[in-house]
Structure 1
C-alpha cells in the first residue's frame, strides 16, 4: 500500500473508532432507575439516581409537621418525594392544596394544567404542571407534581428543572412508579 493510501486507511479506521466511542457515550443512560423504599414511611418509588433523604419542620395548611424528603438529581432535573403525617384524613386532603400553592410559589410559577381526583376518591390526588418565570436569562422552570393523601399521610411527588431539560418519559416513569404502602 502506498504511504498516502495507508494514511487514509488508518485515518478512516481511527475515525470510525472515535465515532463508535462517541456514539456509545451518547447512548449511556442518564437515568439509572432504582426502586427506593423509605424505612420509616410507607411508600416505594423509582428514582433516577442515588437519593438523599432529609427531614425538616414545615407549616402545612397551618399545622406544624415534619416533612421527610427523598430526592435524586439526573442532569439538571430534580426528582423528589416528600411525605408528612397529618392529624386526620380531612387535614391530609386539605394539605394537598397547600402543598400545590407552596411549590408553585417556590418557582414563581403559574399553573398550566391541574387535575384533581373525584371527591371521596381513595387515595385523593391532585396533579399539576406549572411554569416559573425565567430567571437570569435561563429557560422557564417546569414543575410537574402529584399530591396524594392516603389516610392521615400526604405525599408530594415532584419533578422540577428547566422546561426543555425535563424528559416527559422520565416524569411518567417516576409518577407511575409511586406506590403508597
Structure 2
C-alpha cells in the first residue's frame, strides 16, 4: 500500500458528511444521545439523522457511519469508521489526522487557522482539533472539528455552516460533550437509522 492510498482512505469521511444532508429539526431541547454501536455519547437534538455507507478503498470496503443534525444553517455531526490494522501500522495517528484535515480543506476549499492542535480524549487517546473557513455550496462557511483515534476507530466530531448564524455556545457544548461509552455500559438511548425517503 502506498502513501497516496493511505491518504485516500483517511479522507473518506468528509465526503459522507458533506453529502449526507442533515434532517432539519426545530425542537430546541438538547439531550444526551448514547450510541452503543459507535461506542460514544454526545449532546444533540432529539432523533439525529443517521447514515451508513460502504466506501470503496484501495484495500477494500470501509463502513462509514454518521449521526448529524441541523441547527441555524449549521450541521453538527459525529462520524466514525473502523480502519484495518495494516493502515494503523503504516500511518501514525497525527499523520492520519493531518490527512483527514487536508481532506476537509479540499472539500470546502478551506483555509486553516493554524495547523491543528494536538488534543487527548479522556487523557489517553490521541486527537487533533482544527478551525477553518471555506465554502459549502457556494456559500462562505466556518468549520470546527475534533478527530480522535481510539484503537482502530477514527472519530470525527465536526460542526460547519454559516459563521454569522452559527450558535457558538452550542458548538462549544457539542464538541465538549463527546465522550466514550465504557464497554460494559448499556446505552440509555438507541438511535435507529432514518428510513430512506421514497422517490
Query: TM-score, structure 1 length as denominator?
Result: 0.71
Q: Deviations over 1:18-57 (max 9, x none)?
A: xxxxxxxxxxx97421211224110000113530111113
> What is the rounded CA distance, in whole Å, between the counterparts of 2:79 and 2:137 in structure 1?
26
Matches within 5 A, 1:151-166: 151-166=151-166
* Greater fraction of residues in helix: 1
User: What is the root-mean-square deviation of aligned Cα atoms in Å?
Assistant: 2.7
> What is the rounded CA distance, in whole Å, between the counterparts of 1:68 and 1:160 in structure 2?
18
| Counterpart residue number, 1:99 | 100
> What is the rounded CA distance, in whole Å, between the counterparts of 2:126 and 2:57 in structure 1?
17
Q: For structure 1, which segment, 85-94 or 152-161, has the greater mean C-alpha deviation from structure 2 after superposition?
A: 85-94
Asked if 1:117 corresponds to 2:119, the answer is: yes
> What is the rounded CA distance, in whole Å, between the counterparts of 1:161 and 1:109 in structure 2?
12
Q: Secondary structure at the match of 1:117?
A: strand
Contact 1:125 1:149 in 2 (8 A): yes
Q: Which runs of 5+ in 2 are unaligned?
A: 1-25, 182-199
Q: Deviations over 1:49-69 (max 9, x none)?
A: 530111113367977421100
Q: Secondary structure at the match of 2:106?
A: helix
How many equivalent pairs are there? 149
Q: Deviations over 1:89-111 (max 9, x none)?
A: 55582432232122222111111
Q: Which runs of 5+ in 1 are unaligned?
A: 1-28
Structure 2 CA distance for partners of 1:124 and 1:167, relative to 1, 3 Å: same
Q: For structure 1, which segment, 36-45 or 149-158, has the greater mean C-alpha deviation from structure 2 after superposition?
A: 36-45
Matches within 5 A, 1:102-181: 102-113=103-114, 114-117=116-119, 122-133=124-135, 136=138, 138=139, 140-181=140-181
Query: TM-score, structure 2 length as denominator?
Result: 0.65
Contact 1:109 1:131 in 2 (8 A): yes
Q: Secondary structure at the match of 1:148?
A: strand
Higher RCO, Cα 8 Å, sep 6+: 2
User: 1:150: Cα distance to partner?
Assistant: 1.0
Structure with higher Rg: it is 1
Structure 2 CA distance for partners of 1:65 and 1:167, relative to 1, 3 Å: same
| Counterpart residue number, 1:86 | 83
> What is the rounded CA distance, in whole Å, between the counterparts of 1:104 and 1:49 in structure 2?
30
Structure 2 CA distance for partners of 1:61 and 1:171, relative to 1, 3 Å: farther
Q: For structure 1, which segment, 54-63 or 160-169, has the greater mean C-alpha deviation from structure 2 after superposition?
A: 54-63
